[in-house]
């Protein structure tokens, strides 16, 4: 609690100080008349945040060494996913090769027990993980955003009920819940896994956003918006949300990391479609297809390393986004 | 006292919500579970005999009647501890299967959780105390990457290296086939040998969360005035670190310990499945594979109740440790 209260008030100050040019263009009349007065600082912050100048946030992100490495890695994964067809020599579903072969020049990482090329599966698996991360994380963030912000802003009985939901979501063991829902589903495949992940893993994000809204909603500009007659939803999404954009991005990245890991776990447990080409399904087949007995280390090790590398690169970007909202962490 | 009553009411409410969730999930599924079972028995495209469906319905006690009646019946069966009969291990009741496996999982979870918590908090406190040292930067950066490795992958790699390649440890199960399963030193050693790799799989990533949490909290408490006062009074450094900083920094981790149980259970399911460990995680894995709905749901319900109880316990412990919480200043 203490740490959050102490950190938060610093964020708007630095925004106003470090980016005078951005705020001038956003609110010309105010800053022309009285340049950089303390009382106008929250106002300027709000305007600037509403129209973020693209290069500036990217510059801050890029200036952070960790985030830079993360962005390059993410670009690499995106390129691999887009050009999977050009990179791989074979179709990942092609079963015309010898079963359980060791790595060779024809098959860089060997073949599966069904005779598929492991390298091709690894490359195509990038697509599944990226899509599940983007959509599953997105759905979970969206639900967290709505529940967390409404609970934090409305207060009273609405907050009591939504907070109960959030606390319930926090204590229920997520993986068993996901498995139970997914196992009952009549259809299998990544789409259902994305839905299950989105609807079960929003609680942490919701709690995080609720506590942020609680500190933001007592600011003067919110009071003035209330006096101006704005409705609660307009205030939540047009006044409060732009001010916590970097925190929303932060929790989106965390949610995407969670979704990628959860997808792999669910597929490893066998609730996915066995024909999906993904890293989790590769581990499932490596375990069930005897990679341990045949000593096919490459088939066993590469999907896990790929998962860890993708999650790590999101983590690195996360450090950079953290620096965006907390200037103390910046590397100048 | 008000604090304890509030936490207990919250526990009862969450328990009710979890039990109801467990009732709703299977009913969201389109189609009839009894028909589903008959279909699996006779094959996908063959005609189904309605009499067979009725027989299965009676045999497994699949409820009929309207949804409210079903809900009341469901609550009644829970109160009486009747969780139904397993499809896979027919005619064994679900409860006896869980009874056979619960101790294995409890042993694994408690041991790894306690060891992980202790190691994690010690290392985290050390990293904060030696802030900006080489050890601290390894903790702040390096461990994050170890933490991204998936549980089942760690388990598979350990299994591959230590059981298949080096053959130092058994490849799975909870005890040897030849074991007499009598209480003896030999049997105890056998259990430890079999549990080593599953426990190690959970322990590689287990302490990381505690290390991070403890380090970040303690970096804060080291800056507090009461720590400075302790230093100014001329107390020995270890006393300042342990009795002033660490003592206050550990509080959020105590609450976190209970909350983390939900996540650990997910890891346990994955790890037990890899090692074919005779615990509830493996039982759950088998239940998923065989679409054994009564078994699956009962294990889910047990895992929820276990997490809720752990949280209630943690709330009480924190209330006892931290008077601010108890007196409702938060």
Nearest to A136 by CA among A193, A186, A179, A189: A193
pLDDT at A10: 35
Q: Contact at 8 Å (CB) between B128 and B222?
A: yes
* pLDDT, mean over chain B: 81
pLDDT at B244: 79
pTM (two decimals): 0.80
A174 vs chain B: nearest CA distance in angstroms? 7
Residues β-bridged to residue B85: B93
Distance CA(B64)–CA(B24), nearest Å, equals: 15
pLDDT at B171: 77
Residue A303, pLDDT above cutoff 60: yes
B235: Cβ contacts below 8 Å, ≥ 6 apart: B244
B-chain CB neighbours of A270 within 8 Å are: 285, 288-289
B66: Cβ contacts below 8 Å, ≥ 6 apart: none
* CB within 8 Å: A287 and B284: no
B153: Cβ contacts below 8 Å, ≥ 6 apart: A283, A303, A304, A307, A308
Give the nearest chain A residue to B153 (CA atoms).
A304
Point out the residue among A176, A186, A264 whose CB comes nearest to the CB of B300. A176
pLDDT at B249: 83
Residue A46, pLDDT above cutoff 50: no
* CB within 8 Å: B293 and A286: no
Count of CB contacts below 8 A, A vs B? 141
Residue B2, pLDDT above cutoff 90: no
Residue A18, pLDDT above cutoff 50: no
Average pLDDT of the segment spanning B265-287: 88
What is the band of A327 on the pLDDT scale with cuts at 50, 70, 90? low
Point out the residue among A3, A174, A283 whose CB comes nearest to the CB of B156. A283
Alpha-carbon dihedral angle through residues A166, A167, A170, A173, given to the nearest 10 degrees:
-110
Q: Does B263 touch chain A (CB under 8 A)?
A: yes
A-chain CB neighbours of B28 within 8 Å are: 184
A-chain CB neighbours of B289 within 8 Å are: 270
* CB within 8 Å: B304 and A179: no
B160 vs chain A: nearest CA distance in angstroms? 6
What percentage of chain A reaches a pLDDT higher than 70? 81
Cα A175 → chain centroid: 18
Alpha helix positions (H), chain A = 2-7, 10-18, 20-26, 28-33, 41-50, 54-63, 65-82, 84-87, 118-154, 156-171, 174-184, 190-200, 203-216, 220-227, 232-234, 245-268, 279-288, 291-294, 297-325
pLDDT at B179: 67
**DSSP labels for A91-150?**
-TT---SPTTPPP-SSSTT-B-TTS-BHHHHHHHHHHHHHHHHHHHHHHHHHHHHHHHHH
pLDDT at A78: 93
pLDDT at A292: 78
* CB within 8 Å: B273 and A300: no
Chosen for mutation from A122, A164, A180 (greatest number of chain B CBs closer than 10 Å) is A180
A257: Cβ contacts below 8 Å, ≥ 6 apart: A133, A137, A311, A314, A315, B148
What is the band of A17 on the pLDDT scale with cuts at 50, 70, 90? very low
pLDDT at B65: 66
* CB within 8 Å: B262 and A173: yes
Residue appearing with tokens 């954009």: A245
Nearest to B20 by CA among B75, B94, B85: B75
pLDDT at B62: 61
Q: Which residue has the higher pLDDT, A80 or B57?
A: A80
Q: Does B72 touch chain A (CB under 8 A)?
A: no
Give the nearest chain A residue to B276 (CA atoms).
A287
What percentage of chain A reaches a pLDDT higher than 90? 17
* 3-class secondary structure, B93: strand
Residue A19, pLDDT above cutoff 70: no
What is the band of A1 on the pLDDT scale with cuts at 50, 70, 90? very low
Average pLDDT of the segment spanning A98-124: 79
* pLDDT, mean over chain A: 77
pLDDT at A260: 93
Specify the range with the lowest mean pLDDT, choosing from A13-17, B52-56, B209-213, B253-257.
A13-17
pLDDT digits (tens, 9 = 90+) for B222-257: 888 888 888 888 888 888 888 878 888 888 888 788
Point out the residue among A170, A179, A304 whose CB comes nearest to the CB of B153. A304
B-chain CB neighbours of A320 within 8 Å are: none
Specify the range with the lowest mean pLDDT, choosing from A253-262, A289-298, B171-180.
B171-180
Nearest to B129 by CA among B57, B230, B23, B219: B219
pLDDT digits (tens, 9 = 90+) for B208-224: 888 888 888 888 888 88
pLDDT digits (tens, 9 = 90+) for B3-38: 888 888 888 998 898 888 888 887 776 666 667 667
ipTM (interface pTM) = 0.81
Cα B297 → chain centroid: 15
Q: Which residue has the higher pLDDT, A166 or A45?
A: A166
pLDDT digits (tens, 9 = 90+) for A134-160: 999 999 999 999 999 888 888 888 888
Residue A199, pLDDT above cutoff 60: yes
pLDDT digits (tens, 9 = 90+) for B58-112: 665 566 667 788 788 888 888 887 777 787 777 788 888 888 888 889 889 889 9
Residue A14, pLDDT above cutoff 70: no
Q: Which residue has the higher pLDDT, A19 or A72?
A: A72
Distance CA(B284)–CA(B101), nearest Å, equals: 10
Cα A236 → chain centroid: 21
Point out the residue among B14, B149, B150 whose CB comes nearest to the CB of A168. B14
Give the nearest chain A residue to B263 (CA atoms).
A173
What is the band of A126 on the pLDDT scale with cuts at 50, 70, 90? very high
Q: Which residue has the higher pLDDT, A9 or B246?
A: B246
Distance CA(A257)–CA(A259), nearest Å, equals: 5
Q: Contact at 8 Å (CB) between B116 and B195?
A: no
Chosen for mutation from A164, A173, A323 (greatest number of chain B CBs closer than 10 Å) is A173
B136 vs chain A: nearest CA distance in angstroms? 16
Distance CA(A323)–CA(A60), nearest Å, equals: 8
What percentage of chain B reaches a pLDDT higher than 70? 89
Q: Does B270 touch chain A (CB under 8 A)?
A: yes
* CB within 8 Å: B262 and A174: yes
pLDDT at A138: 94
B129: Cβ contacts below 8 Å, ≥ 6 apart: B218, B222, B241, B245
Point out the residue among B145, B152, B159 whose CB comes nearest to the CB of A265. B152
A7: Cβ contacts below 8 Å, ≥ 6 apart: A326
What is the band of A132 on the pLDDT scale with cuts at 50, 70, 90? very high
A-chain CB neighbours of B284 within 8 Å are: 176, 179
């Amino acid at each position: 609690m203490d740490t959050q209260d102490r950190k938060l008030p610093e964020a708007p100050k630095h925004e106003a100080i470090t980016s005078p040019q951005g705020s001038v263009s956003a609110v010309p009349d105010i800053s022309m008349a009285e340049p950089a007065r303390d009382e106008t600082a929250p106002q300027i912050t709000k305007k600037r945040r509403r129209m973020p100048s693209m290069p500036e946030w990217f510059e801050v992100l890029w200036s952070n060494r960790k985030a830079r490495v993360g962005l390059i890695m993410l670009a690499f994964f995106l390129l691999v996913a887009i050009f999977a067809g050009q990179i791989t020599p074979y179709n990942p579903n092609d079963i015309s090769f010898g079963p359980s072969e060791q790595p060779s020049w024809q098959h860089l990482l060997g073949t599966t027990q069904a005779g598929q090329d492991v390298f091709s599966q690894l490359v195509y698996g990038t697509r599944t993980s990226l899509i599940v991360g983007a959509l599953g994380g997105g759905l979970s963030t969206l639900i967290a955003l709505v529940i967390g912000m409404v609970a934090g802003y409305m207060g009273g009985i609405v907050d009591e009920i939504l907070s109960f939901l959030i606390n319930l979501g926090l204590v229920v063991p997520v993986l068993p819940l996901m498995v139970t829902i997914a196992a009952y589903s009549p259809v299998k495949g990544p789409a259902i896994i994305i839905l299950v992940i989105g609807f079960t893993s929003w609680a942490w994000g919701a709690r995080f956003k609720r506590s942020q809204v609680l500190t933001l909603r007592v600011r003067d500009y919110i009071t003035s918006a209330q006096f101006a007659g704005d409705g609660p939803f307009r205030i939540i999404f047009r006044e409060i949300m732009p001010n916590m954009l970097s925190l929303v991005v932060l929790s989106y990245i965390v949610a995407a990391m969670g979704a990628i890991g959860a997808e792999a776990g669910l597929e490893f447990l066998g609730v996915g479609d066995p024909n999906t080409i993904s890293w989790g399904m590769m581990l499932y087949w490596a375990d069930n297809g005897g990679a341990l007995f045949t000593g096919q280390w490459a088939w066993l090790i590469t999907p896990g390393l790929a998962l860890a590398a993708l999650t790590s690169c999101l983590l690195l970007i996360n450090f950079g986004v953290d620096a965006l909202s907390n200037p103390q962490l910046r590397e100048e | 006292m008000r604090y304890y009553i509030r936490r207990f009411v919250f526990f009862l409410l969450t328990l009710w919500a979890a039990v109801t969730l467990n009732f709703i999930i299977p009913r969201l599924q389109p189609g009839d579970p009894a028909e589903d079972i008959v279909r699996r028995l006779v094959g996908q495209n063959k005609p189904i005999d309605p009499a067979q469906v009725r027989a299965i319905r009676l045999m497994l006690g699949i409820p009929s009647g309207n949804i409210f009646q079903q809900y009341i019946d469901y609550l009644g069966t829970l109160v009486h501890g009747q969780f139904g009969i397993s499809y896979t291990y027919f005619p064994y009741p679900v409860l006896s299967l869980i009874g056979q496996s619960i101790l294995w999982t409890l042993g694994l979870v408690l041991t790894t959780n306690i060891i992980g918590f202790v190691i994690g908090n010690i290392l985290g406190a050390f990293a904060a105390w030696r802030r900006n040292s080489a050890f601290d930067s390894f903790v702040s950066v390096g461990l994050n990457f170890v933490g991204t490795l998936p549980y089942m992958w760690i388990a598979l790699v350990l299994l591959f290296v230590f059981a298949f390649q080096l053959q130092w440890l058994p490849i799975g199960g909870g005890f040897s086939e030849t074991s007499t399963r009598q209480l003896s030193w030999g049997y105890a050693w056998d259990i430890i040998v079999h549990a080593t790799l599953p426990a190690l799989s959970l322990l590689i990533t287990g302490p990381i969360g505690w290390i991070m949490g403890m380090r970040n909290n303690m970096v804060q408490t080291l800056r507090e005035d009461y720590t400075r006062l302790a230093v100014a009074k001329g107390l020995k450094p270890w006393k300042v670190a342990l009795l002033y900083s660490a003592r206050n920094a550990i509080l959020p981790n105590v609450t976190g310990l209970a909350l983390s149980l939900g996540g650990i259970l997910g890891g346990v399911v994955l790890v037990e499945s890899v090692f074919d460990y005779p615990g509830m995680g493996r039982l759950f894995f088998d239940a998923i594979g065989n679409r054994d709905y009564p078994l699956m749901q009962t294990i889910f319900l047990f895992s929820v109740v276990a997490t809720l109880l752990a949280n209630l316990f943690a709330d009480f412990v924190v209330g006892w440790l931290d008077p601010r919480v108890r007196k409702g200043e938060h």
